[in-house]
Amino acid sequence: MTSTSLFHLAFPVKDIAEARAFYGDLLGCPEGRSSEKWVDFNFYGHQLVAHLAPEETGFSVSNSVDDHDVPSRHFGAILALPEWEALAEKLKAAKIKFIIEPYIRFKGEVGEQATMFFLDPSGNALEFKSFANMDYIFAK
């Protein structure tokens, strides 16, 4: 894999206008192509596509990680710590309800990371994180 490799993620939403407001306005993801039933977003340089599929939205299963119930189906981005901190403050100011409030996970361990989990308006779980040392993203 080269550094120019990108990912594409398509996911269900219950309302395209809500998705535009959340991903575009709140998270600041520029919009790409769209139709009445889907919309592309530039998600930190990657292609995120919200598809209108209300019957497929939400989450129901979680797993315990560091004594927190983490939604088993989630996506997000790994940010530099100042960017992560700014996003956490922006989400708090917007009164976003967190599934897991911003905190430091695995403190003092190789995989130490800042993390937070929240839902979009369709019930899709998102995690944003920042590693104390980016070289340890895949460290065991």
**What mean pLDDT is reported for the chain?**
92
* Chain segment 51-102, per-residue pLDDT in tens: 999 999 987 767 777 677 777 789 999 999 999 999 999 999 999 999 999 9
pLDDT of residue 126: 97
**Which of residues 68 and 17 earns the better pLDDT score?**
17
pLDDT of residue 41: 98
Q: Tokens at residue 90, please?
A: 């922006």
Burial readout 69-101 (b: 16 or more C-beta within 10 A, e: otherwise)? ebbeebebbbbeeeebeebbeebeeeebeebbe
pLDDT of 140 higher than 90: no
pLDDT of residue 74: 93
